[in-house]
Amino acid sequence: MGKNKLTKFSELSELENTYQNYDVKNPELINFEGDVVEMKGRWNELHFKNDQPIVVELACGGGEYTVAMARSIPNRNYIGVDIKGARIWKGAKIAKSENLTNAAFLRTRIEQLNLFFGEQEISEIWITFPDPFLKHSKSNRRLTSPFFLNIYKPLLKKGGFINLKTDSPTLYNYTLEIIQQEKLNLIYEKDNIYTDELYTEELHFKTYYEKMHLKNSRTIKFIRYTL
């Protein structure tokens, strides 16, 4: 492991806005003080200290989208989730430096969300430019697959949105097929969001990867639906 990564891991463990599950076989959350904490169903009570809706960004990477949403929409609480500590370090550091008290980060596998969130604790989910897993044999690893939808369902408030923003035609079309197959409620879909006025405020935010995709003339797609 490189020295830079070790430095980031060390700094990440000292950030009050970040919780980490180091060991998938031992699903405990560790806070910045090194204590085991029980956050399931208690994020607003224990961390945010308010009753605002909780929005979760899955596979948040460097946390750019989580930070942008928290910065622009202060009346909601945002939690970026990723397994890579060296990635979320960046977003967590920015959120701390800007005193974004409505932004937090959770380092864990998405398969383990139900261990760290209570029933109907999440108001909305954002999935921004995830790995599309282009091989059909890996389609169950896509974050909009039935496998993951079954994880989200008990955690998401009734009528809570799932939002997918992607440049991948494969993931976009697959998600539409799953929505139809599972008889879910499609709210909005657009295969090129920049041909019209943007559907929702959050679509204005661009990650590093989206800027690269646009520079390479790829179209950005968006789907909003409920379970």
Are the C-beta atoms of residues 141 and 177 closer than 8 Å to each other? no
Which residues, including other chains, have CB under 8 Å from residue 18's CB and lie 6 or more apart? 12, 32, 88, 92, 104, 105, 106, 107
Q: Supply the residues annotated as catalytic.
A: 131
Residue 8: closest CA among 126, 107, 98, 101: 107
Q: Which residue has the tokens 């409620």?
A: 185
DSSP string, 158-219: EEEEEEEEES-HHHHHHHHHHHHHTT-EEEEEES-GGGSS-SSGGGG---HHHHHHHHTTPP
Are the C-beta atoms of residues 96 and 67 closer than 8 Å to each other? no
- Dihedral through CA 147, CA 84, CA 15, CA 30, nearest 10? 60
Q: DSSP code of 220? A: P
Tokens of 127: 């999935």
Residue 171: closest CA among 209, 210, 143: 143
